Every structure is written in C-alpha cells, then in structure tokens.
C-alpha cells in the first residue's frame, strides 16, 4: 500500500506532438489531471519530464496549468533514468514509491519503469494514465512493465489508496475531483 509520505508521481513525456498521436489521449489527460490534483491535496510531489521538447513540443497545456512553477526535466534518453538531472531530482525527493504515468508506454515509460525497478524503487504503473500510438504497443508496454516487477494500478485506485479514509477535508476535496 502506498502512503503520501513515501510516494512521488512521475509524469513521463505527456507532450503536444506525442499526445496528438496516442490512443485515448483525452482520457489519459483527464485521468492524469485528476491524479495530479489529488496528489497536490495529499502533498505527493510531481516530477515531470519532456523528451526532446524542441521537436515534440512542451507538456500539454491542461497539465501545465495544474503544475504552475514546475519545470520539466528535458531529456534525450528514452529512459528518464538516463538523465543525470532527472536522477538528481528524483533522489532529492527521497520517495521510494513511484507512480508512473505518461507516454509512450512501450518506449519511454517502459524503459524508465524497468530502470526504476532495477534501482530498487517500488514502481506503480497507472494504467489509465499511459498510452502509445497503438493499443497493441500500449498493452505490450504495460505487460512488460508488470513482468519487470512493477505493480499495476489506476488513477482512482492510487488516489483512494493514498487517501485511506472517507473522512475530513481531503476526502471531500478529492471526492469532487473523482466525480468530475
């Protein structure tokens, strides 16, 4: 079970040109947006990456608006872990449970998740928050990530696992997010 004090949300490369070409892009953006909003309420930090933003564009506007002041780690390696700046930022949060969202499931998300598992992190792949240009590649990425040792979850499952109880102001705020 994940706890807010041990968890970080990693959003991998949800960028303009990539987002336009993946399956269920709108659903991914909506689910990821809800997860970001819940993480903010629960004080779970968010780390954001962008793969070659000059060519693929910046993070989609809907997510950028939810993360004011957050600067994406720019990278060229498919695995986020191939970036020294990413690893520096990741380690600075001192969190061992990593919720992973993003695109593409079979490339950057897959390679990052496998590296994180190999580095000893507990990886929780948020399946409704990952996509690829084809459903076949999306599903293959998810299967291979799970086989590498990651746990599968959904945005709603992760949110309620982080929340734990149906009481208080946090529950009320998160209930509104879930119902949207």
CATH of the domain at 73: 3.40.50.850
Mean pLDDT estimate for the chain = 96
In three-state secondary structure terms, 4 is: helix
CB 142 within 8 A of CB 125: yes
pLDDT tier for residue 180 given thresholds of 50, 70 and 90? confident
pLDDT tier for residue 113 given thresholds of 50, 70 and 90? very high
Mean pLDDT of 4-29: 94
Of 13, 97, 115, 128, catalytic? 13
Of 34, 75, 80, 81, catalytic? 75
Known catalytic residue at 80? no
Residue by residue, what is the 3-state secondary structure of 78-140? CCHHHCHHHHHHHHHHCCCEEEEEEECCCCHHHHHHHHHHHCCCEEEEEEEEEECCCHHHHHH
Known catalytic residue at 108? yes
User: In the chain, pLDDT over 70 holds for what percent of residues?
Assistant: 100
Tokens representing 106 are 């079979």
In three-state secondary structure terms, 10 is: strand
Known catalytic residue at 179? no
pLDDT tier for residue 17 given thresholds of 50, 70 and 90? confident
The whole model's pTM is what? 0.97
Mean pLDDT of 31-46: 97
Residue/partner pairs of 82-90 with CB below 8 Å, 24 or more apart = 82/115, 83/49, 86/47, 86/49, 89/47, 90/8, 90/10, 90/47
- Alpha-carbon Rg of the chain, whole angstroms? 15
Tokens 């705020």 label which residue?
A: 173
Q: How many domains, in total, are found in the chain?
A: 1
- Bridge partner residues of 99 (DSSP): 9, 124
Of 39, 108, 128, 129, catalytic? 108
User: pLDDT by residue (tens digit) across 115-173?
Assistant: 999 999 999 999 999 999 999 999 999 999 999 999 999 999 999 999 999 999 999 99
Burial label for 19, CB within 10 Å (0-12, 13-18, 19+), is buried
- The C-alpha atoms of residue 129 and residue 155 are separated, in whole angstroms, by 7
CB 105 within 8 A of CB 131: yes
Tokens representing 29 are 């953006």
pLDDT tier for residue 18 given thresholds of 50, 70 and 90? confident
| Residues spanned by the domain of 144 | 4-179
Is the pLDDT at 48 greater than 90? The verdict is yes
- The C-alpha atoms of residue 162 and residue 156 are separated, in whole angstroms, by 10
């Amino acid at each position: 079970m994940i706890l807010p004090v041990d968890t970080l949300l990693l959003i991998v490369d949800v960028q303009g040109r990539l987002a336009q070409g993946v399956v269920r892009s709108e659903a991914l953006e909506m689910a990821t947006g809800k997860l970001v909003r819940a993480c903010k309420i629960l004080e779970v930090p968010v780390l954001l990456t962008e793969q070659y933003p000059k060519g693929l564009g910046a993070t989609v506007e809907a997510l950028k608006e939810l993360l004011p002041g957050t600067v994406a780690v720019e990278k060229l390696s498919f695995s986020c872990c191939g970036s020294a700046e990413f690893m520096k930022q990741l380690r600075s949060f001192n969190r061992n449970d990593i919720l992973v969202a993003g695109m593409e499931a079979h490339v950057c998300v897959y390679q990052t998740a496998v590296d994180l598992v190999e580095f000893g992190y507990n990886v929780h792949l948020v399946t409704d928050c990952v996509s690829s240009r084809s459903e076949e590649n999306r599903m293959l990425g998810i299967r291979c990530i799970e086989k590498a040792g990651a746990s599968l979850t959904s945005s709603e499952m992760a949110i309620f696992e982080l929340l734990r109880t149906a009481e208080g102001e946090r529950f009320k705020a998160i209930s509104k997010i879930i119902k949207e």
